Amino acid sequence: MKYFPQECILTLEELNKLCEEWKSVLGLENWNTSIKICRDDDMEGGAGHCHWVLPIQCADIKILDHVDWYKIIDHFPQDMEKTIVHELLHCRFAVIDKAEDGTLEELILHQNIDMLACALVGIKREANGNAFEKGKGEENNFKKFLRNG
Ligand SMILES: [Zn+2]
**Under a CB-based contact definition with an 8 Å cutoff, are residues 79 and 5 in contact?**
yes
Each residue's pLDDT tens digit, 118-143: 999 999 988 887 654 444 444 555 55
Residue 139 located in a structural domain: no
90 alpha carbon – ligand 1 mean position (Å): 7
114 alpha carbon – ligand 1 mean position (Å): 7
Side chain identity, residue 100: E
Residue 148 located in a structural domain: no
- How buried is 59 (Cβ within 10 angstroms: 0-12 exposed, 13-18 middle, 19+ buried)? buried
Domain count along the chain: 1
Residue 7 located in a structural domain: no
Residue 147 located in a structural domain: no
101 alpha carbon – ligand 1 mean position (Å): 11
43 alpha carbon – ligand 1 mean position (Å): 13
What integer is the mean pLDDT of 23-30? 97
CATH number for the domain that contains residue 121: 3.40.390
58 alpha carbon – ligand 1 mean position (Å): 17
Residue 42 located in a structural domain: yes
Residue 40 located in a structural domain: yes
What residues make up the domain containing 62? Answer: 12-133
- Say yes or no to pLDDT of 66 above 50: yes
Question: Of all residues in the chain, what percent carry a pLDDT higher than 90?
Answer: 66
69 alpha carbon – ligand 1 mean position (Å): 17
37 alpha carbon – ligand 1 mean position (Å): 16
Cα dihedral: 101, 24, 118, 141 (round 10): 180
Residues in the chain: 149
Alpha helices, H only, the chain: 12-25, 69-72, 80-92, 104-127, 140-147
Instruction: Specify the range with the lowest mean pLDDT, choosing from 22-36, 49-63, 128-142.
Output: 128-142
88 alpha carbon – ligand 1 mean position (Å): 9
